[in-house]
Amino acid sequence: MQTKTSGPVGMLLVDFDAPSNLRALARFDAAALAELPASAGAGALLGEGYLAFTVDPGGDLSRYQGVVALEGRTCRRLPMLTSSAPSRFRRWFGSPSARA
């Protein structure tokens, strides 16, 4: 999965290789992220842009890719970006004051 957006979290990249290999990377603006209220939704974190999701089953099976525009202030229709996403982002990135 990969996003490229205009919000404080401008890029997310997640690579999962079954059964248990996971790696992820995020590019974010710490100052802009710190200014968001705790109640900000995933739409405020990401802004507008796109989400691409690629599945490569390997072997002789075909790769599948879907690309979805991220528009507006909410991502509630995307199951991986629920209303609890902002608190998860803060847990992953830590508070900006803790990094100072």
CATH value at residue 77 = 3.55.30.10
Q: For residue 70, is it within any domain? A: yes
The confidence score (pLDDT) of residue 75 equals 54
How many domains does one find in the chain?
1
Structure confidence at residue 38 (pLDDT): 82
42 falls within a domain? yes
Helices then strands (H, E): number in the chain?
Answer: 4, 5
Q: Could you tell me the pTM of the whole model? A: 0.63
**Contacts for 57 with CB less than 8 Å, ≥ 6 apart:** 63
Range of the domain at 23: 2-91
In the chain, which stretches have pLDDT less than 50? 79-86, 88-89, 92-93, 95-100
27 in any annotated domain: yes
Does residue 99 belong to any structural domain of this protein? no
Q: Domain for residue 97, yes or no?
A: no
Q: Which residues contact 9 (CB under 8 A, 6 or more apart)?
A: 3, 26, 27, 28, 33, 45, 46, 89
d(CA 37, CA 20): 34
pLDDT tens-digit profile of 65-78?
Answer: 888 888 765 555 55
96 lies in a domain?
no
